[in-house]
Structure 1
Amino acid sequence: MTDTADTPDRTDGIELLKPLGVETTPIPGFLRIDLTVHGDNRGWFKENWQREKMTALGLPDFGPVQNNISFNDEVGVTRGIHAEPWDKFVSVATGRVFGAWVDLREGPSFGTVYTTEIDPSVAVFVPKGVGNAYQTLEPNTAYTYLVNDHWSPDAQYTFLNLADETVAVPWPIPLEQAIQSDKDRAHPRLADVVPFAATDATADGRRVLVTGCKGQLGRELMKQLPAAGFSPTGVDLPEVDISDADAMAAWDWSAYDIIINAAAWTNVDGAETPEGRPLSWRANATGPANLAREAARHDLTLVHISSEYTFDGTLEPHTEDESPSPLGVYGQSKAGGDAAVEATPKHYLVRTSWVVGDGKNFAKTMASLAARGIAPKVVDDQTGRLTFTTDLAAGIIHLLCTGAEYGTYNLSGEGPVVSWCDVAKRVYELVGHRADEVTPVSTAEYYAGQEGIAPRPLRSALDLSKIEATGFTPGDSMERLDAYVPTIEL
């Protein structure tokens, strides 16, 4: 006689009322999910996908955009092994399958196998690059899956033969008796499979799209990213215009894991002109908004560079939670782009100031003036710290490599807060001139009588405690200046 007190209720072979749960498996990132099924004499009901509950248990918030159903008439229908460039949430609406998955991503887990039976009370989360296959165990089986990208003929697919001897999937129904397609029979063995490109958060070779690659920061990123194990692709105007929404929507985002937006309109005074105003907004607000939309849609990490010009300069130092208060069009357009980026789930908004790198910059301008025997007037009431692109790029890479919490981070050089006049005097000394050749003036005096001049924040120093708490400390900006100026070629 059976004691039914400890026997779970079942209907049509489905276990009822088991608690919702998520289990890890030998394949990294691949999860098995127990679903709660409610049943009575009329049938059953389940929440097949419940975002809030499942993410609370550790399921990735993977952002599904499409639901597909494969209906199978007979027992023994066998499909796979297919690895696609998107994540999948797999379950069955009716029937039962034997599921088999093989990790086809490059890395130490390549070739790892996991199998389980799926009925309406079981689901699995399949990360992109993991080969997926199943065999029906009941007639009239409806196999259903959510995916977080749309099918594309240009996407990268990886396949493995169902009969591969190395992974040796224990099919309940021998493959010679199963129903297969000719295409599946022709897939390669494991030894001939080209692994799916790694996208794990700690794996080398992560694919990065760098916009604005011709700028000071863009050039430095293209130098540092490969050394840190990333695979960067650089784009810039006129070939790629991030403010073109249609072009960004049509872009093949499956080729990337991370976007670093180093593109910007930085002509502060030009932004105040009728011609420059819309260009500034296109580059600094519309473009980042387009990237933010696509990053959210395709589950990409977006890194965006902001500026201290989003503040009016009345506070010092500026913290990450300071409310925007831009004075001019440039700062307003940057604040608009920041707002769009902050709505993206996976973002790093990196705010910086006074950038110096490979290209036109203040230090190089001062060295050029000294070489030509010019004694300039330089403002002494605008204060902050220089940011060398070597530190800026390294800090961005640090955030990505350490998996720091998403959000806003200030990132400039460390060291003393100085004025533009202090920097100019130091450059003059470093090139063999006298510091007193530089005359200090106020901002009001410097721009007196000039039209079309953008307002500048007087205090630009950033509080660096948040990024330093992650383990990254930038170099002293004035020591960086001392090392940089002797390398300037005029």
Structure 2
Amino acid sequence: MRRRGTDTMALDHEKQLAATTTPIPGFLVFDLTVHGDNRGWFKENWQRAKMTALGLPDFGPVQNNISFNDEVGVTRGIHAEPWDKFISVATGRVFGAWVDLREGPSFGTVFTCEIDPGVAVYVPWGVGNAYQTLEPNTAYTYLVNAHWSPEAKYTFLNLADETVAIDWPIALDDAILSDKDRAHPRLDAVTPFPPAMPRVLVTGAHGQLGRALMAQLPDAGFLPVGVDLDKLNIADRASVDAYDWSTVDVIVNAAAWTDVDGAETAQGRPRAWAANATGPANLARVATEHGLTLVHISSEYTFDGTRAPHREDEMPSPLGVYGQSKAGGDAAVAATPRHYLVRTSWVVGEGKNFVRTMVDLAGRGIAPKVVDDQVGRLTFTTDLAAGIIHLLRHGAAWGTYNLSNEGTPLSWAAVAKRVFALSGHDPQDVSPISTAEYFAGKDAAPRPADSTLDLTRIEATGFRPPSMEERLDAYVAQLRRDGSGQQPTVNRPD
């Protein structure tokens, strides 16, 4: 490598862009291509497409900083911050020293090298870094993917620590240091950075799916933050733009307007479009701008129910406003590069749902009429949340995935009969009725006749949902143990 200085003649203009790994996991050294002649030199300091192809994480920088140093021997560090950095030199030369301060087997691992305009390094979150200038008027620049915050926790290591024993080109006694850097602790007094946990923002955190996600994400190695309308109105651009997205890695949008019949009214129509289309479009925009992963929950109501089982590539054919608004949101989400569009059906979880209503009716001795010409599969939120987490943890290919429970599709009437039987009541108390008869004389949205989803793609990733019969049996048994049902507050079986 060129270590003689940074004049044009000293730089290697034949060198090709390349990445090299180091003893510190995730830490990369980049050889940069520098183009020069008698006028000076030019380089692509950071080039996302080329460098990610060589292994640089698509780390989404949000800030660019420059450190200028007048004199030889200026030494800064060793500082470890909760963000990733891409370091390069604009002019001059520095000696860089890095110590892994993350919890784990590589704690205390050291790597050093010189950096000039033809070399750059990628420093992962939690790796301590220090720099010593080797030429006057040296400036180095670094891209970071989080904003500095006075509330953030930083970790420091003494530049003279005997354990890591960095061989400084200029002895520290002769170097220029700040008093703060001289006072940093030795390695045996450093509290390691805990393992990095992807930060997941869950919208609609108090809904059925939101609750299941908030319960499962921590055990899966994710740091969940739940928000609802009072904290983040996804349909309001100003609210979305004001949110600090530098604190988020993944958005799971579990917020939606799900009143299918209400969406057909003059009051409900704009609310459905705001929540189901405008909101996802706002989230897709910030996901693209900040390089975030967006998980969005869709519905089988985007289809008319005539071509089941519905595949992921089926063209939308919604029958009503709810399905139309969901299809609009789906189109916006599909435009952001890092997305999982998870389409589901007949959701059952903690909160108001069809199964709870049937348990309540059975317990009160009410014999309901339930439609028998709409068929599909139930989706229990524990399994829906688990499937979403599976996609995130295993880095599945971006795109659309159908996700419901497995099993033979049933009609709503058949589900109700099974619930009555599981509740210790006569399933014959449930009277099958057609959709037309059920909604006769009522203002109601059209429903897809067949909601069955093809699960081939999600199962190809290694996730196979349990059967809905198995989950339904366990769910009803739990409701009976808890003595919980719910008053029937809706006039629709979905």
Structure 1 range deviating more: 105-114 or 410-419? 105-114
Question: Which amino acid is the alignment partner of residue 473 of structure 1?
Answer: R
| Contact 1:11/1:39 (<8 A) preserved | yes
Instruction: Write the mapping of 1:327-346 to structure 2, written as runs, cut at 5 A.
Output: 327-346=319-338
| Contact 2:145/2:246 (<8 A) preserved | no
Q: Distance in 2 between matches of 1:161 and 1:151?
A: 21
Q: Distance in 2 between matches of 1:266 and 1:374?
A: 26
Q: Secondary structure at the match of 1:15?
A: coil
CA shift, 1:354, in A, is 0.3
Identify which of 86, 98, 106 aligns with 2:95.
98
Measured against aligned partners, the alpha-carbon deviations of 1:103-155 in whole angstroms (never above 9, x if no partner) come to 23333323222211111111111223222221111112121222334444444
Map of 1:462 onto structure 2:
453
Map of 2:488 onto structure 1:
none
CA shift, 1:415, in A, is 0.7
| Contact 1:220/1:393 (<8 A) preserved | yes
Does 2:421 align with 1:446?
no
Does 2:214 align with 1:222?
yes
Does 2:158 align with 1:161?
yes
Identify which of 465, 474, 478 aligns with 1:474.
465
Does 2:233 align with 1:241?
yes
Structure 1 range deviating more: 313-322 or 270-279? 270-279
| Contact 1:208/1:230 (<8 A) preserved | yes
CA shift, 1:18, in A, is 1.0
Q: Quick one: structure 1 residues 346 and 106, their matched pair in 2 at CA, closer, same or farther if it must change by over 3 Å?
A: farther
| Contact 1:149/1:298 (<8 A) preserved | no
Structure 1 range deviating more: 240-249 or 400-409? 240-249
Identify which of 67, 81, 85 aligns with 2:82.
85
Identify which of 32, 36, 58 aligns with 1:35.
32
Percentage identity across aligned positions?
75
Map of 1:52 onto structure 2:
49
Identify which of 147, 165, 168 aligns with 2:144.
147
CA shift, 1:197, in A, is 4.2
Structure 1 range deviating more: 290-299 or 345-354? 290-299
Q: Quick one: structure 1 residues 223 and 48, their matched pair in 2 at CA, closer, same or farther if it must change by over 3 Å?
A: closer
Question: Which amino acid is the alignment partner of residue 215 of structure 1?
Answer: G
Structure 1 range deviating more: 429-438 or 289-298? 289-298
Structure 1 range deviating more: 141-150 or 408-417? 141-150
Instruction: Write the mapping of 1:142-221 to structure 2, written as runs, cut at 5 A.
Output: 142-199=139-196, 205-221=197-213
CA shift, 1:254, in A, is 4.3
| Contact 2:17/2:32 (<8 A) preserved | yes
Map of 1:370 onto structure 2:
362
Q: CA RMSD in A?
A: 2.3
Q: Please list every run of 5 or more consecutive structure 2 residues that lacks an aligned counterpart in the other structure.
A: 1-6, 486-494
Map of 1:405 onto structure 2:
397
Structure 1 range deviating more: 247-256 or 427-436? 247-256
TM-score (norm 1): 0.90
| Contact 1:155/1:254 (<8 A) preserved | no
| Contact 2:93/2:115 (<8 A) preserved | yes
Q: Please list every run of 5 or more consecutive structure 1 residues that lacks an aligned counterpart in the other structure.
A: 1-9, 200-204
| Contact 2:25/2:106 (<8 A) preserved | yes
Q: Distance in 2 between matches of 1:106 and 1:253?
A: 26
Q: Quick one: structure 1 residues 81 and 16, their matched pair in 2 at CA, closer, same or farther if it must change by over 3 Å?
A: same
Q: Quick one: structure 1 residues 421 and 348, their matched pair in 2 at CA, closer, same or farther if it must change by over 3 Å?
A: same
Q: Distance in 2 between matches of 1:235 and 1:42?
A: 55
Map of 1:202 onto structure 2:
none
Identify which of 275, 293, 306 aligns with 2:285.
293
Q: Quick one: structure 1 residues 186 and 334, their matched pair in 2 at CA, closer, same or farther if it must change by over 3 Å?
A: farther
Q: Distance in 1 between matches of 2:290 and 2:247?
A: 11
Map of 2:489 onto structure 1:
none
Q: Quick one: structure 1 residues 269 and 51, their matched pair in 2 at CA, closer, same or farther if it must change by over 3 Å?
A: same
Structure 1 range deviating more: 370-379 or 306-315? 370-379
TM-score (norm 2): 0.89
Measured against aligned partners, the alpha-carbon deviations of 1:250-293 in whole angstroms (never above 9, x if no partner) come to 33444443332222221111222222223223322333333333
